């Protein structure tokens, strides 16, 4: 071998050695990655380290909640809910709902779905929401331990999906959560992606056997009426009186301007106070890790079977029909008690004869309301325009065009007007009435809650106007005159 050949050989040897190191290094990295991956999978199967911390909180009776955003409806909304069906009475309920153009929610029992699969199918195909109310409703079984409850939930879910093709996130606890659910039950259901809905008005139709229809209507009519109402009713056998009461119950809410909607995942669930548990049961850490892992696995698996979001949106839009066709109008609803608006920390009171409910929204005298807020109103009779100014907002209520124009300060001065049609705005006995919510929101405030107080027959509204910036006057001083020319 010549010297050239040896050099070549040595070169190969060096290269070979380097390559061997590289391969070894790569192998090592692969092994490392694999072991990391294994550790990760093992952790996912066993649960996250947060599980033990959550266990400690849950064992002390504390709720561990996920942060979830909810939607608040613009108009007062009622969710009618029917439990324990479907039964031979359910078709009559569905007929009434169809006739009234109302969508509701049915919390069904798995065994009833198996007995009446076509009725369950009709519930879903007619645009109502369906929810899971356990398989057999037997408290002793459901609340002896979570494993038994979970089994019934799953069995019912299979029955619902076979009969209707629907997968539902909605759950209602038989007997309600009060005294039956502990923080563990809530936790696993939430981890699994379910939403548990109680109610805030019990029609009393199941208080005892044979409650007459007029008593059911009276119980609902006694309120209290809130911005969002979840009404408990039953469509199981023996509840013919509920079917008889239903048209009156619907009328009652329509007269008060309520919109009807089925429950969905974005409705903030009403949940009763926990109360003293009626059942003796406990969860060991080992069980907890199992339940927590199983509920998360379930959530992941279900994610794949849920409707794609765009289809969900289309469905929701289809079922949210307006309460009334825009052509027909209700007479304004008046009250014996005043309207009290708690605006931040002060109360603004509007006398009973100076406000009313029209088409689902509270109408207030524009000048009285804006001045009580601390703003001003200027009425120009020749143009039939009332200009309201508050903070850095200016609004023009145009009674000629029945439209509201809103001006806000923008980076280059005053922005273009936003135009909002206001068909319900009108002049009554020389007073301009305008919708309270819209006026407040367009002036930069926000309404947190509405409450109808049945005892006083009046409304209470909680509102806030804290987002307001510099006063319009100071803005006017800062801006070039030309920017203000267009808005007089």
Residues with catalytic annotation? 83, 234
233 vs 461, which CB is nearer to Zn ion? 233
235 vs 396, which CB is nearer to Zn ion? 235
83 vs 264, which CB is nearer to Zn ion? 83
333 DSSP 8-state letter = B
Sign, CA dihedral 155-158-160-162, equals negative
202 vs 371, which CB is nearer to Zn ion? 202
Q: Which residues pair with residue 403 across a beta bridge? A: 398, 421
Token pair recorded at residue 362: 């509270």
174 vs 262, which CB is nearer to Zn ion? 174
Q: How far is the CB of 194 from Zn ion (least distance, A)?
A: 16
Token pair recorded at residue 466: 């804290």
Instruction: Give the up-direction half-sphere exposure of residue 159: CA atoms within 13 A in the CB hemisphere.
Output: 28
Q: Interface with Zn ion by CB under 5 A: which residues? A: 83-84, 174
b/e map 31-43, b = 16+ CB within 10 Å: eeeeeeeeeeeee
Q: How far is the CB of 50 from Zn ion (least distance, A)?
A: 34
Pick left, alpha or beta for residue 210 (phi over 0 → left; psi -120 to 50 → alpha; otherwise beta): left
Q: Let me know: does 86 contact 111? Beta carbons within 8 Å.
A: no
Q: Which residues contact 315 (CB under 8 A, 6 or more apart)?
A: 127, 307
Q: How far is the CB of 44 from Zn ion (least distance, A)?
A: 36
| Pairing mode, strands 228-234 and 201-202 | parallel
Q: How far is the CB of 372 from Zn ion (least distance, A)?
A: 46
For residue 234, give the nearest of 96, 114, 108 by alpha carbon.
Answer: 108
Q: Which residue is nearest to Zn ion (CB)?
A: 83
Neighbours of 162 (CB within 10 A): 13
Look at residue 106 and give its three-state secondary structure. Answer: strand
Q: How far is the CB of 173 from Zn ion (least distance, A)?
A: 9
């Amino acid at each position: 071998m010549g010297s050239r050949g040896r050099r070549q050989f040595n070169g190969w040897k060096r290269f070979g050695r380097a390559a061997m190191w590289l391969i070894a290094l790569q192998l090592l990295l692969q092994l490392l990655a694999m072991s990391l991956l294994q550790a990760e999978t093992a952790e996912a199967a066993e649960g996250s380290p947060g599980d033990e911390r959550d266990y400690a909180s849950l064992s002390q009776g504390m709720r561990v909640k996920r942060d979830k955003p909810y939607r608040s409806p613009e108009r007062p909304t009622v969710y009618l809910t029917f439990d324990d069906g479907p039964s031979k009475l359910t078709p009559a309920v569905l007929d009434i709902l169809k006739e009234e153009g109302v969508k509701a929610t049915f919390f069904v029992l798995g065994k009833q779905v198996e007995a009446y699969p076509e009725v369950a199918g009709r519930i879903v195909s007619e645009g109502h929401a369906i929810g899971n109310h356990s398989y057999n409703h037997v408290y002793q079984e459901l609340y002896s331990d979570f494993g038994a409850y979970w089994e019934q939930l799953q069995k019912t879910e299979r029955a619902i999906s076979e009969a209707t093709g629907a997968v539902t996130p909605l759950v209602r606890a038989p007997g309600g959560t009060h005294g039956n659910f502990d923080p563990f039950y809530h936790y696993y259901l939430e981890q699994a992606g379910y939403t548990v809905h109680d109610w805030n008005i019990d029609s009393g139709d199941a208080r005892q056997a044979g409650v007459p229809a007029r008593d059911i209507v009276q119980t609902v009519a006694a309120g209290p009426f809130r911005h969002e109402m979840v009404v408990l009713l039953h469509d199981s056998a023996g509840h013919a009186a509920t079917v008889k009461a239903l048209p009156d119950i619907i009328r009652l809410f329509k007269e008060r301007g309520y919109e009807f909607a089925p429950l969905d995942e974005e409705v903030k669930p009403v949940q009763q106070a926990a109360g003293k548990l009626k059942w003796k049961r406990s969860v060991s850490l080992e069980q907890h890790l199992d339940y927590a892992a199983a509920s998360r696995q379930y959530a992941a698996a279900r994610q794949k079977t849920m409707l794609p979001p765009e289809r969900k949106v289309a469905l929701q839009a289809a079922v949210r029909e307006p309460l009334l066709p825009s052509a027909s109008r209700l007479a304004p609803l008046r009250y014996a008690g005043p309207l009290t608006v708690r605006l931040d920390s002060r109360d603004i009171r509007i006398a009973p004869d100076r406000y009313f409910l029209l088409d689902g929204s509270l109408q207030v005298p524009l000048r009285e309301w804006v001045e009580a807020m601390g703003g001003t109103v200027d009425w120009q009779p020749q143009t039939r325009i009332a200009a309201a100014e508050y903070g850095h907002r200016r609004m023009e209520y145009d009674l000629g065009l029945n439209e509201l124009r809103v001006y806000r300060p923008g980076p280059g001065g005053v922005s273009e007007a936003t135009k909002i049609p206001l068909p319900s705005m009108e002049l009554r006995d020389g007073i301009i009435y305008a919708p309270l919510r819209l006026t407040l929101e367009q002036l930069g405030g926000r309404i947190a809650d509405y409450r109808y107080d049945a005892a006083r027959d009046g409304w209470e509204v909680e509102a806030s106007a804290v987002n307001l910036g510099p006063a319009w006057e100071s803005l006017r001083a800062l801006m070039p005159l030309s920017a203000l020319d267009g808005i007089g």
